[in-house]
Amino acid sequence: MSAKNAMALIERLGEFKTGLYQKDFLHTWKQSDADCRAVLLIAETLEEMWRANIDARVFRGGLAVSNFRDKSTRTRFSFASAASLLGLSLLDFDESKSQVAHGETVRETANMISFLTEVIGIRDDMYIHEGHEYMAETSRAVDAGFKEGVLPQRPAVINLQCDQDHPTQSLTDLLHLQKTFGSLDALRGKKIAMTWGYSPSYGKPLSVAQGIITLMTRFGMNVVLAHPEGYDVIPELEQLAGKHAAASGGSFAKVHSMEEAFRDADIVYPKSWAPYQVMERRTALLRAKESKQLEALEKECLAHNAQFKNWECTEALMKLTNGGQALYMHPLPADITDLNCAAGEVAKSVFERYRVPTYKEAEHKLYVIAAMIMLTRFEHPARLLKQLVDKASPRRMV
Amino acid sequence: MSAKNAMALIERLGEFKTGLYQKDFLHTWKQSDADCRAVLLIAETLEEMWRANIDARVFRGGLAVSNFRDKSTRTRFSFASAASLLGLSLLDFDESKSQVAHGETVRETANMISFLTEVIGIRDDMYIHEGHEYMAETSRAVDAGFKEGVLPQRPAVINLQCDQDHPTQSLTDLLHLQKTFGSLDALRGKKIAMTWGYSPSYGKPLSVAQGIITLMTRFGMNVVLAHPEGYDVIPELEQLAGKHAAASGGSFAKVHSMEEAFRDADIVYPKSWAPYQVMERRTALLRAKESKQLEALEKECLAHNAQFKNWECTEALMKLTNGGQALYMHPLPADITDLNCAAGEVAKSVFERYRVPTYKEAEHKLYVIAAMIMLTRFEHPARLLKQLVDKASPRRMV
Amino acid sequence: MSAKNAMALIERLGEFKTGLYQKDFLHTWKQSDADCRAVLLIAETLEEMWRANIDARVFRGGLAVSNFRDKSTRTRFSFASAASLLGLSLLDFDESKSQVAHGETVRETANMISFLTEVIGIRDDMYIHEGHEYMAETSRAVDAGFKEGVLPQRPAVINLQCDQDHPTQSLTDLLHLQKTFGSLDALRGKKIAMTWGYSPSYGKPLSVAQGIITLMTRFGMNVVLAHPEGYDVIPELEQLAGKHAAASGGSFAKVHSMEEAFRDADIVYPKSWAPYQVMERRTALLRAKESKQLEALEKECLAHNAQFKNWECTEALMKLTNGGQALYMHPLPADITDLNCAAGEVAKSVFERYRVPTYKEAEHKLYVIAAMIMLTRFEHPARLLKQLVDKASPRRMV
């Protein structure tokens, strides 16, 4: 029935014309609601097509370039999988093996890696105020290169996590919520608690929390951000969340208590991050290669974190949620008490209860990325998908 | 004539239904004789198809994931080549660039890299008692993931060398023997000397020797294991070799003299390895990161090894073999006296005489791996191969 | 109109039979004029096909192996792009992850990585007198392997930059000149100044300069090599340039003044390199791993270089060229004064004026490499290209 499901989803897309064609996907808040919904619909379509064994290769050659400036398992495999699904050859750009080490400019590199390139995926989340800027600079460079005739096509730049947003994650989360609650409309009025969680490590990016509060407020949800005093996210993005909530009929609030956030929540999302101000100090030290001061900062932060070990998603806290049945979410890997650390973001029994749904959610990411590629690289993605489903060429022999 | 050869091989497979479908290939001794024979037949078929310029891509997208936890040339290229041959996109999983470094569990990682994955190839041969365990844990994880609905398909885990077995090598060796002696039946009663050889390095895995004594004893061969006192392999696997020999009508014996092993041998396989007990000490020190004690152990072992420099496959020793004409085998790279070391496993003149057959043998490995993928991922591999040969779509223009 | 353009180019190739079939591309000076012209024609054809959205995959599987023994962005992406364009799976051979670290011979490695391999691209430009030798040894190894029946096909070895030549660059440069001046014939009598340029780094390869003086002299150009005293290139290659000039009706001269070289030049190519004699000392020290002496040598060379900061391609120098309008060329990345260094090879305003043509030129390289693959791997490349253009199978959906 998957092929039928795929066709039904395509019909819902109709003659959809994307605003993303020939553009990038850097922030969800820069995209229209229609485009965000289209990401979900196309992701679902591609997922059904895979299960129905339908070849989805819209490309026959050409490159998908990834540039991971920080460690990654899930996103790395999601990007590579999306490339394989659509027929692109993956090339992982390792700056240490390139002339970037010889002083090459971003403008030049961006063009040099793009002659046959349809998409460039970038993770750059270590340096606050810089990750997004690097992506934006790459975007301007390929835009100029295309206009100047240097590039035969304009590759889309896709944000695989920056210092501000993590759109492939937040849209994956949204797809998970839609599937769990039945529809996007069903999310209206639901309470989601995006909370800090204790972690034995430090320096985790803020972009997951920022991505959630800015995206979920657009769909009429009641979003509560909770963290200990001092663990602030970027202020402008909190303000944006408020604005989104006002526009959608949802709400946005900030509290400093996990209990308060969890009370009557339909969804809880406990996840560690480093305070915004700490990330600024860390960025300066990383840039200056002050390894001693970095160690001192880490020590200081870990000691500070340790005051908040009670920010753990326990069974007791889960009982406070709506019917004691809130959906637990995490982008993985989580710090799980008594599983991979002594004290972490979530109690083992809570995590284990939600492990399978959390793993299932992770699968969506590759289709979300593939959907972003379809939307940025084709003017009428729904037409192409229809052709592929009509043809139903098997993606593997059976 | 290669297409005709391919078809003849496929006919010998007949309506073969594999016991490997939806399973892994971790040890040869866990697989039936029929499945081992099927690996060889399918490997040969694919090799003929390549030479007949017939497209063998049963997949159109999807991933083949490799995870090399130790250095590799041959197996790395064999796995990548098998993936390309069958139409899969290769993704090499580099743990240092992943969240594994952040404490991610094997269970989680195994699922996260498998959403579009048909096969996971793992080399993990550095740690005795652990290499196989890692593969088994990965296997259990994807098994559970598939049953829980996390994974849309269950990727096969293929052992690219562990602490116990090296099945892609031993089956490659068996295919080489079959081709050299005419058939598997012709191997019955042939004497193969699996012997230790001196090497200027230390710490080489035991899995080649263990793979040979456990596999060749199943085909009625007379297998002699020879090594200096103290260079024992895993005792349970020696016992298994004995059991196999008893069942097949072959024999298994252990001696401590290279001369005795070589006498009247039809095949000689001189290859260095570290004593089992040393590997246990080494594993403990590697885990504890005791670099000083590791250096001391290396020194001690190299000094001990040096007492056995006479364990070299010389022309004089070769004269002792059946008609002086035994087949020399090695998985490569060999330590060749006066070629890449001052004293090694084999004399230069012996190696040079067998260099071309040894190189030719190495080619089989990629087809053995491809055959394992066919058998684990398709219920009726022979039917698919027949369709491909019937269609005879060219794999390259000419 | 691109498909029509492609067909016109193919017609110019006619029934061209390459002398490169089953051979390597290591030096331009070993190839006939006809083969060099065929590289350009096929490169142009493939470029038109890409723009006309015509699938150019002559392969359906099989490997393209790259081995970068020095950093690279452009050439790395060009090789990967050429592989994707033609339907090959890329495999980057990382020696540090291979058994090469265990003393494997070049002969053996070359065979082990080639069972399904159509092309091996190598960059080895760090060691004078050694880079080419490594490629030649690889070439002899695969030649022998093919003749001995080890390899089912003979992969072509393509020089991606050695100590002597950089043919993918010099032919890319030639294609750029042909496009800029209208035809190869139009280059006759044009003056090209291949000059040294000041760089704040040291140890850059000589192969670009050597590649230019030996190739451009074959097309009737007046080639002037200019560098400070002591910055000699390999003497035999200077002599070869002279011989080529004599044969083609062009000229070759050496001067020690940038002004003299630039005067009335139609093309200027200012580019840093290390003196030949310094590279010899450096190679010896690198081999001996004498890190202290290497540092001392670097210091000495940088100090020496600093005497020649006036070797910068400034606006004043450009005014000396033919009508003040000479074409500026560089293989990139350039050391650009006030952009990526305080003092470099070229003034910022000069570079910026030629930035777009220089970037556009860089695109040609991937097609030049693809053309080399077509010419070394197929006896009648023009026939295949005609078939592909006739079929006009789309390389991506639209």
CB-nearest partner of A57 from B60, B63, B103:
B60
How confident is residue A128, by pLDDT bands cut at 50, 70 and 90? confident
Q: What is the 3-state secondary structure (H, E, C) of chain B?
A: CHHHHHHHHHHHHCCCCCCCCCCCECCHHHCCHHHHHHHHHHHHHHHHHHHCCECCCCECCCEEEEEECCCCCHHHHHHHHHHHHHCCEEEECCHHHCHHHHCCCHHHHHHHCCCCEEEEEEECCCCCCCHHHHHHHHHHHHHHHHHCCCCCCCCEEEECCCCCCCHHHHHHHHHHHHHHHCCCHHHCCCEEEEECCCCCCCCCCCHHHHHHHHHHHHHCCEEEEECCCCCCCCHHHHHHHHHHHHHHCCEEEEECCHHHHHCCCCEEEECCCCCHHHHHHHHHHHHHCCHHHHHHHHHHHHHHHHHHCCCCECHHHHHCCHHHCCEECCCCCCCEECCCECCCCEEHHHHHHHHHHHHHHHHHHHHHHHHHHHHHHCCCHHHHHHHHHHHCCECECC
B197: left (phi over 0), alpha (psi -120 to 50) or beta: beta
Task: Report the C-alpha dihedral over residues A204, A209, A215, A217, rounded to 10 degrees.
Answer: -170
Residue contact C152–B80, C-beta within 8 A: no
Span B55-87, pLDDT tens digits: 999 999 999 999 998 888 889 999 999 999 999
Nearest-CA distance from C116 to chain B in Å?
A: 6
What integer pLDDT is reported at residue B35 of this predicted model? 96
Residue contact B104–A398, C-beta within 8 A: no
Q: What is the mean pLDDT of chain B?
A: 95
C-alpha span between B90 and B93 (Å, rounded): 10
Q: Which of B21, B57, B60 to mutate to test the interface with A (most CBs of A within 10 A)?
A: B60
CB B328 within 8 A of CB B318: yes
Span B259-271, pLDDT tens digits: 999 999 999 999 9
* Sign of the torsion formed by the C-alpha atoms of A284, A290, A296 and A302: positive
Nearest chain A residue to C74 by CA: give it: A112
C25: left (phi over 0), alpha (psi -120 to 50) or beta: beta
- The number of distinct structural domains making up chain A is 2
Nearest chain A residue to C72 by CA: give it: A98
Residue contact A74–B148, C-beta within 8 A: no
Task: Name every residue whose Cβ is closer than 8 Å to that of residue B270 and which is 6 or more positions away in sequence.
Answer: B193, B195, B196, B197, B258, B311, B312, B313, B328, B330, B345, B346
| 3-state class (DSSP) for residue C306 | helix
**Chains near B (3 or more Cβ pairs under 8 Å):** A, C
Residue contact C394–A60, C-beta within 8 A: yes
Residues A201 and A342 placed together within one structural domain of the fold:
yes
Residues C290 and C154 placed together within one structural domain of the fold:
no
CB-nearest partner of C63 from B84, B363, B398:
B84
At C63, list the tokens. Answer: 């490997």
Q: Where are the alpha helices (DSSP H) in chain C?
A: 2-13, 33-51, 74-86, 106-112, 131-147, 167-181, 207-216, 235-248, 258-262, 276-288, 291-305, 315-319, 348-377, 381-391
Residue A356 lies in a domain: no
pLDDT reading at B384 higher than 60: yes
Nearest chain B residue to A364 by CA: give it: B115
What integer pLDDT is reported at residue C72 of this predicted model? 87
pLDDT reading at B229 higher than 60: yes
Nearest-CA distance from A248 to chain B in Å?
A: 33
What integer pLDDT is reported at residue C372 of this predicted model? 98
Count of pairs with CB atoms under 8 A, one residue in A, one in C: 105
Nearest-CA distance from A113 to chain C in Å?
A: 6
Residue A357 lies in a domain: no
What integer pLDDT is reported at residue C288 of this predicted model? 87
pLDDT reading at A214 higher than 80: yes
Span C325-377, pLDDT tens digits: 999 999 999 999 999 999 999 999 999 999 999 999 999 999 999 999 999 99
Residues A156 and A279 placed together within one structural domain of the fold:
no
Residues B196 and B104 placed together within one structural domain of the fold:
no
Residue B246 lies in a domain: yes
Nearest-CA distance from C316 to chain A in Å?
A: 25
Given the DSSP bridges, would you call strands A63-68 and A117-123 parallel, antiparallel or unpaired? parallel
Residues C333 and C219 placed together within one structural domain of the fold:
yes
Place of tokens 């691209």: C121
Residues A270 and A124 placed together within one structural domain of the fold:
no
How confident is residue C96, by pLDDT bands cut at 50, 70 and 90? confident
Residues C24 and C153 placed together within one structural domain of the fold:
yes
Task: Report the C-alpha dihedral over residues A80, A85, A89, A93, rounded to 10 degrees.
Answer: -20
Q: Which of A102-106, A178-182, B391-395, C11-15 has the lowest mean pLDDT?
A: A102-106
CB C130 within 8 A of CB C175: no
Amino acid letter for position A64: A
- Its pTM surpasses 0.95: yes
CB-nearest partner of B73 from C59, C99, C387:
C99
Residues C311 and C378 placed together within one structural domain of the fold:
no
What integer pLDDT is reported at residue B40 of this predicted model? 97
pLDDT reading at B103 higher than 80: no
How confident is residue C102, by pLDDT bands cut at 50, 70 and 90? low
Span A102-120, pLDDT tens digits: 667 899 999 999 999 999 9
> What share of chain A in percent tops pLDDT 70?
98
How confident is residue C95, by pLDDT bands cut at 50, 70 and 90? confident
CB-nearest partner of B99 from A72, A90, A360:
A72
Nearest-CA distance from C122 to chain A in Å?
A: 14
How confident is residue A282, by pLDDT bands cut at 50, 70 and 90? confident
What mean pLDDT comes out for the span C17-40? 95
Place of tokens 């993770």: A123
CA angle C148, C150, C154 (to 5 degrees): 85
Count of pairs with CB atoms under 8 A, one residue in B, one in C: 105
> What share of chain A in percent tops pLDDT 90?
84
CB A85 within 8 A of CB A50: yes
Instruction: Give the ipTM of the model, two decimals please.
Output: 0.95
Residue B253 lies in a domain: yes
What mean pLDDT comes out for the span B157-172? 97
Task: Name every residue whose Cβ is closer than 8 Å to that of residue B239 and which is 6 or more positions away in sequence.
Answer: none
What integer pLDDT is reported at residue B94 of this predicted model? 86
Residue C57 lies in a domain: yes
C-alpha span between A130 and A125 (Å, rounded): 8
At B324, list the tokens. Answer: 């002086």
What's the domain range around A210? 168-346
CB A75 within 8 A of CB A168: yes
Residue A77: which CATH number?
Answer: 3.40.50.1370
What mean pLDDT comes out for the span C153-160? 98
What integer pLDDT is reported at residue A222 of this predicted model? 98
Residue contact C60–B398, C-beta within 8 A: no
CB atoms inside a 10 Å sphere around CB A350: 22
> What share of chain C in percent tops pLDDT 90?
84
Q: Which of C21, C85, C89, C94 to mutate to test the interface with B (most CBs of B within 10 A)?
A: C89
pLDDT reading at C101 higher than 60: no
Residue contact B73–C152, C-beta within 8 A: no
Q: Which residues of B touch A (CB under 8 A)?
A: 58-63, 89, 91, 97-105, 108-109, 111-113, 115-116, 118, 145, 148-152, 378, 384, 387
At B62, list the tokens. Answer: 């999807």
CB atoms inside a 10 Å sphere around CB C190: 21
Nearest-CA distance from C217 to chain A in Å?
A: 29
Q: Which residues of A touch C (CB under 8 A)?
A: 58-63, 89, 91, 97-105, 108-109, 111-113, 115-116, 118, 145, 148-152, 378, 384, 387
Residue contact C73–A384, C-beta within 8 A: no
CB C162 within 8 A of CB C207: yes
CB atoms inside a 10 Å sphere around CB A30: 14
Q: Which of A6-15, C70-79, C266-275 has the highest mean pLDDT?
A: C266-275
Q: What is the mean pLDDT of chain C?
A: 95
CB-nearest partner of B112 from A56, A73, A83:
A73
Integer angstrom CA distances of residue A243 from A170, A250, A254, C139: 18, 10, 14, 66
Chain B hits for A51, Cβ within 8 Å: 152
Residue contact C108–B332, C-beta within 8 A: yes
Q: Exposed, middle or buried, A391 (CB in 10 Å: 0-12/13-18/19+)?
A: exposed
Q: What beta strand segments (E) does chain A contain?
A: 63-68, 89-92, 117-123, 156-159, 191-195, 222-226, 251-255, 267-270, 327-328
Chain A hits for B91, Cβ within 8 Å: 77, 80, 90
pLDDT reading at A100 higher than 80: no
CB B128 within 8 A of CB B160: no
pLDDT reading at B355 higher than 80: yes
Residue C76 lies in a domain: yes
How confident is residue C127, by pLDDT bands cut at 50, 70 and 90? confident
What integer pLDDT is reported at residue B95 of this predicted model? 82
Beta bridge mates, C327: C267
Residue A19 lies in a domain: yes
pLDDT reading at A43 higher than 70: yes
Residues A261 and A155 placed together within one structural domain of the fold:
no
What integer pLDDT is reported at residue A72 of this predicted model? 87
CB C230 within 8 A of CB C196: no
**Chains near C (3 or more Cβ pairs under 8 Å):** A, B
What mean pLDDT comes out for the span C260-276? 96
Residues C327 and C230 placed together within one structural domain of the fold:
yes
CB atoms inside a 10 Å sphere around CB A185: 10
Residue contact C91–B68, C-beta within 8 A: no
pLDDT reading at B156 higher than 70: yes
Chain A hits for C57, Cβ within 8 Å: 60-61
pLDDT reading at B102 higher than 70: no
Q: Which of C309, C103, C32 is nearest to C198 (CA)?
A: C309
Residues C338 and C386 placed together within one structural domain of the fold:
no
- Between helix C2-13 and helix C33-51 the angle, nearest 10°, is 160
Residues C97 and C188 placed together within one structural domain of the fold:
no
Residue B171 lies in a domain: no
CB C282 within 8 A of CB C297: yes
